[in-house]
Chain A
């Protein structure tokens, strides 16, 4: 045997030896919607999990924006090629849970796979959004955030406001915005991204005022919108008044307008706590965040905020062995130290109580109080019927309807009352349509 053929044989043997465990490995597809630094987090998590054991291999794939990823998952399910794990934004929760057989509830998955799983270990403000009325967890929280008020400390100094005592109530915000406007911020005193999240969804929870019956849809798809109530009307009327001289200036339906804060154009902006990375990288001024403002006359306000972000749904119709791998991966994600690391490095909220306690005890928030603001909001009070979350089928479309009506009020086409009534009425039509197609 020549040395050359010996080499060939040993190479072949090596290849076979290397390939054998790869064949036995069960692949788990994970479709997600995260870009940039957040995409790196996903890839790193998958790599760490794959290195930690040999049986399963998690394969992450980026599928576009949140709505794109949801649509890709839906289309793949219809074609019989759904991934095992699909990341869905909180707005898609109603759509996901309504389809019987399309998803595998997480509590069932963990039980069947025999993984240790205690739903009480997770922060209730987060899991409440993704659980049934009975408290059964349907999807695994992944990247959660909430809405906070970001403000420009330098602008506050310029306007003679105390940068360490941000406004707490809406009337205080209006006063501050007027002063900021007088100090040169004449295009935009305050604003918000995610128009309906700020002015309907979070607003209702934070003031303990219902958006709809049946605990905002958590207790059933026969929920009826009813947020055309006095406090909402008061808030919308204020916004419409202040829009006239740009003390408030509308910044669009999504987070496209967030650049108006980091560029220094708008000194106060309500948006997601997930805006942190962007602010840190791009704001060339001294900044901070604070809890969302509230109306002091509302009894019990501030209540607690609700979450945004996304969770991981397990798709239906897969093999038991694959589900076992998914369950192991979820246990891996919930590990305390891993959660601590994710939270402190990426700014996502920790999903377990133990992880939150550990970060708190370490004194991390003393230097970085802005990372605790959303957690303090979420845990401000025991959630009520009006602040556990919301679950409307077809919420993506309903949000568009709500945005249209808010815009019609702000540009003077409709009175605030007419717009609010139309938002409720048209939203209810969409809900009734959805109710007929929901199979559970």
Chain B
């Protein structure tokens, strides 16, 4: 039986002086294989051409379409309506600056994060175009890829209690990013260098370890393992730091 779906969607256009935050309701007949990508586009084309939301790859690989679906952050392109009740509430991701309706500005936050964790391989080697590539163990390469699969959707940050209280918190995505470099033999930073970035309340010591981030991560990244690893390593680096004769 085809259902009628009722969408309650958060609306607010900060650029429009007469707009106030409110909820609009749209009704749509459900079709086979319907996803929120299909549904939202139909609503825009058939009912409200001004409705703002973000999709890009529509295939679960770019991270553009994160929103809060019935109370839970997730990727809209991924979400099949058949897995939802016939009343669907859509809200923009909290924490990030609202652009309008369901669209938020994740780009600014993530670029800022990349700057804060100095998200690049730190090395003093110059690239030699004539030399063979430096060798790497395939298993290590695969481990790095495992952490690099984050698509910067922002779900983990939006679900994080610490982030809501501390806007300067690096979030699971930021800590995972740093963990990726800790793992990478090409990155020559010392533990002290990493400690300087995350050994504080904006970093690893701000995390309360309540798991919300890993629960919502659509890429199923092992965020808890990374947070645990960093906390352990940074705790150790912190202790070393207190012992003056160990200081580098």
**Co-assembled chains A and B:** no
